[in-house]
Amino acid sequence: MQIPRFPNEPCLLITDAGLGSLILSAMAAEQPNKDATRLYPAWWTSQDDMDIRIPAIDRAIEMQADLLSLQLIRDRAGYPEEAGPRSNPASLGTHQTRMLLDAATLAIELGLKRVIWPIRAAEPSDESDEVANLDTIATAIDRALLAARLATLDAQEHGGVEVIIETPIVDLTNHELSDLAADLNVPINACWWSDTTLPDAQVHFNCWNQEPTTASMLEHRPVNGSQAVNH
């Protein structure tokens, strides 16, 4: 498995408190300049039940930020403005574009040149459609490139920096992400789906509980104030 490359410079890390976000946050926490990195709360998948999801996601993101000693942006977030069904790709795509533009604009305002988006094509399921995944990968990369370019064009008119939006785990499978979580020894129970009463949380929990490496971590790694990642 090829380890995702993480920029050796401060960045704005978009996070939904999922496993992919947690892994990239752990990688950010290992960088020597991590104090300048910022976590940007966001959500870019299902737009249903956001009134229930957002408070739980916020709590999980704050827990991850505390465990990893990363700075969290508390007055801005990339959550959907209006509820919409996941089956509506136009609604979901529009939100993702707006979220990326806001994140890229914020990064420019903070003087950060890189935005990290932990989107993945793989779904939390045992089975995946390889063709659909390839389409999702291409769309995510294109959306990130175009959003970064648009934000940069607007910023350059006012002397702002050029920003890049990266998608380092977009093509990782569930098995690869599970192995990476084990390699980094991340506090997996800090993910939002650890509360299985939340919408879709049981699906995510079951997915990672079926992977041998993360299943062992879920069984033996309770979250508490003293838990930390081994650097």
Q: Name the burial class of residue 220, with classes exposed (0-12), middle (13-18) and buried (19+) by CB atoms within 10 angstroms of its CB.
A: exposed
pLDDT at 43 over 70: yes
Q: How far apart are CA 122 and CA 170, in angstroms?
A: 8
Average model confidence (pLDDT) for the chain? 87
Q: How far apart are CA 134 and CA 140, in angstroms?
A: 10
Q: Specify the higher pLDDT residue, 123 or 24.
A: 24
pLDDT at 85 over 80: no
Region 112-141 average pLDDT: 82
Question: What pLDDT is attached to residue 50?
Answer: 86
How far is the CA of 84 from the CAs of 93, 169, 172, in angstroms?
A: 11, 26, 27
pLDDT at 42 over 90: yes
Q: Record the pTM.
A: 0.88
Region 92-103 average pLDDT: 94
For residue 220, name the pLDDT band (cuts at 50, 70, 90).
Answer: low
pLDDT at 87 over 80: no
Question: What pLDDT is attached to residue 228?
Answer: 41
pLDDT at 223 over 70: no
How far is the CA of 151 from the CAs of 2, 142, 144, in angstroms?
A: 30, 14, 11
For residue 130, name the pLDDT band (cuts at 50, 70, 90).
Answer: low
pLDDT tens per residue, range 153-199: 988 776 778 999 999 999 999 999 999 999 999 999 999 999 999 99
* Residue-range domains of the chain with CATH: 12-220 (3.40.50)
